[in-house]
Amino acid sequence: MLTPSTDGGLLLFMINILDYGAGNLTSVRLAFERLGTTPRILTEASQYQGGRILFPGVGSAASGMAGVKARGFDRLLQDAIKASTPVLGICLGMQLLLSSSEEDGHTEGLNLIPGVCKRFDRAKEPTAKIPHMGWNTLQLNHHPLFDGLQQNDAVYFVHSYFVMPNNAEHTLATTQYCGETFTSAIGYRNLCAMQFHPERSGAVGARLLENFLHWNP
């Protein structure tokens, strides 16, 4: 159980989950509740009163970006990065952080981490199933979010697209699938994101989320 502390009147462990019509909100909320904190679900940016930000998501890039912009979350995320607020993206929430995605023809992203999002190419491995769905392993670079994890720990994926950041230093973890060694976690300063679903990844995912609660970039 967490012991909350305060800083400038804000609860350090407060988690704000962005609901833009594309989030797997219930399982994410329950995962944090099991860690002893009660997240706040935001349906528009004006509801934000401080604390850490979780940017989840499932679904398509175009509809996801439309929801993000309609609720003002694009500006909220940009302001959070400038203010050094810890931000964690999950799945579609990770993909939308990049400059653009091939999904839905072409979708402009938030460009918070320069790069593109591409679809797996079955021609590289004809027997591979798309979407990539199920458990797969992580090859980790050093980062506080990975404290307590081991190389080749397994986590749960559901996706057809993967990110390619322009700067290799933004890659925090990689995974192999469909003939690709793809980036499965990214980070820059106070922003981190992962393609897999920590809320569905058992003890490994719980440790990642707990590390996020304590992370002070």
Residues with a catalytic annotation lie at 91, 197, 199
Whether 77 contacts 85, CB under 8 Å: no
Indicate the pairing of strand 115-119 with strand 154-159. Answer: unpaired
Sign of CA dihedral 52, 144, 37, 18: positive
Strands 132-137 and 161-165: unpaired
DSSP code string of 85-113: --EEEETHHHHTTSSEESTTS-EE---SS
Q: What is the C-alpha R_g of the chain?
A: 16
CB 172 within 8 A of CB 187: yes
The token pair at 195 is 């393609």
Distance, in Å, from the CA atom of 93 to the CA atom of 58, rounded to the nearest integer, reads: 8
17 phi, psi to nearest 5 deg: -95, 125
CB 194 within 8 A of CB 208: yes
Q: Are 109 and 100 in contact (CB under 8 A)?
A: yes
